[in-house]
Structure 1
Amino acid sequence: MKHTLSVLVEDEAGVLSRISGLFARRGFNIESLAVGPAEQPGISRITMVVPGDDQVIEQLTKQLYKLINVLKVQDVTEVPCVERELMLVKVNAPSTSRTEVLEIAQIFRARAVDVSDDSLILEVVGDPGKMVAIVQMLQKFGIREIARTGKIVLTRESGVNTELLKSLEARLGSAKV
C-alpha cells in the first residue's frame, strides 16, 4: 500500500539529504517527493509517497523523528485531505488533431501554455488519478515529454472525506439504474 507522509522540518541545509539517506539505508523507495516553505518562516513541508504496510510506515516515522531537524511527521493516507499535483505534458498536436487534443484538455480543465506548429504543452492540476487519466487519453497522439511535481496535501479542517462522498454517490447512482 502507498502511504502519504507530511513532514514538517526546519529549513536548513542538508535536511532533505538526511531524510533521503535514511530511506536509502533502509532500502525504501520514495515514489513522490515535494518540498516547499510551510506556513511559518524557517519551516518547510515535505510531502512524500512511500510504499509499505502500516508497520513499515510506523517504523519509518519513528526513524524520522530521530533526525534532529524533523518537527512533525503525519501519515495522512487515511485522513481527509486535499491533494494536488502539477504536470506539464508536451503532446503531438499537428493541425489535423489539435482540436481534439484541446477538447480533451478542456474536459480535464487543463490549460495550453505553449503551442508550436506540431505540438502543445498542457498544464494540468489535480489529484494523481486525474494525471493518470489525461495521460491515457493523450497517449494516442504521442506524448513527447512529461514533468510532474509530485503530490502535495493539506488535511481538511472540515473533516469531510470527498473520496468517500464520491464513492457513495457512485454507488447510489448505479443503484438507481
Structure 2
Amino acid sequence: MSEAENVQRAATIAVLVENEAGVLARVIGLFSGRGYNIDSLTVAPVDETGRISRITVVTTGTEMVIEQIKAQLDRLVPVHKVSDLTLEGPHLVRELALIKVVGKGDNRIEALRLADAFRARVVDASTESFVFEMTGSADKIDAFCALMRPIGLVEVSRTGAVAIARGPRGLN
C-alpha cells in the first residue's frame, strides 16, 4: 500500500433517509460492524411532512475507507442520497454548545469578557454560574472551552456537526 493510500482525512457526509424506526440504528450498525469511527452524528427531520430525515456524519479514514462507507450507506434501503460535502465543494459546518461556567468575582468578569469575544450568548445566569450558548466550528468551541477551564468550566453539552453546501446546490 502506498503512503498516499494510507493518508487519513476527515469527511462530512450528509445522508437523506426515510424517517422511520430503525434507520439510525442501521446506519450506526454499518459503522460499528466494520470498525469505522463516528466523530460526530446528528439527525433530524428536514421536510414539511416529517418523512425525510437528514443524517450528518463526520468520520475519519483513508480515501478507500470513506468510499466504502459512502457506497455501503448508499445501499441501505431507506437511503435516498449520500453526499460527501468535504469533496463536493464549499460547505458550512457548525455545532451548537451549551457551556456552564461557575465562578465569582474576577472569574465572572473574565468569563463574560471571553464570551463576548467568542460571540457566546448568556442563556442562564445565577450569582454563581453562567450557561453560555455558542455556535461555530468545533475548533472555535474547543478553544472557548479551553479558555473557560481555568475560570470554572463544569459542564459542556454539544450537538455535533450540522453541515450544508454553500451556494445554490442542494442535497435533494
The normalised TM-score by structure 2 is 0.87
Instruction: Give, in angstroms, the shift of residue 96 of structure 1.
Output: 3.0
Residue 76 (structure 2) aligned to one of 67, 83, 90: 67
Separation in structure 2 between the aligned mates of residue 113 and residue 93 of structure 1, nearest angstrom: 16
Separation in structure 2 between the aligned mates of residue 158 and residue 14 of structure 1, nearest angstrom: 32
1:127-162 CA-partner distances (Å, limit 9, x unpaired): 212111111211211211100000001101168xxx
Instruction: Give, in angstroms, the shift of residue 93 of structure 1.
Output: 2.3
Secondary structure at the counterpart of residue 72 of structure 1: strand
1:111 aligns with 2:121: yes
1:18 aligns with 2:29: no
Q: Write 1 or 2 for the structure with the bigger share of helix.
A: 1
Give unmatched runs, 5+ long, in structure 1: 160-177
Residue 142 (structure 2) aligned to one of 132, 142, 150: 132
Alignment RMSD? 1.4
Q: Which moved more, 1:27-36 or 1:133-142?
A: 133-142
- Letter of the aligned partner of 2:77 in structure 1? I
Instruction: Give, in angstroms, the shift of residue 40 of structure 1.
Output: 5.2
Residue 153 (structure 1) aligned to one of 152, 156, 163: 163
Runs of 4 or more above 6 Å deviation = none
Secondary structure at the counterpart of residue 119 of structure 2: coil
Match of 2:4 in 1: none
Q: Is the 8 A contact 1:95 1:118 kept in 2?
A: no
The normalised TM-score by structure 1 is 0.85
1:74-128 CA-partner distances (Å, limit 9, x unpaired): 1111321121110001112213321110010011110111112221110001121
The number of residues matched between the two structures is 159
1:35 aligns with 2:43: yes
Separation in structure 1 between the aligned mates of residue 92 and residue 83 of structure 2, nearest angstrom: 15
- Percent identity among equivalent residues? 44
Q: Is the 8 A contact 1:92 1:118 kept in 2?
A: yes
Q: Is the 8 A contact 1:95 1:117 kept in 2?
A: no
Give unmatched runs, 5+ long, in structure 2: 1-8
Residue 5 (structure 1) aligned to one of 13, 30, 51: 13
Rate the CA distance shift 1:158–1:65 in 2: closer, same or farther, 3 A.
Answer: closer
Separation in structure 1 between the aligned mates of residue 82 and residue 126 of structure 2, nearest angstrom: 44
Separation in structure 1 between the aligned mates of residue 115 and residue 130 of structure 2, nearest angstrom: 10
Match of 1:77 in 2: 86
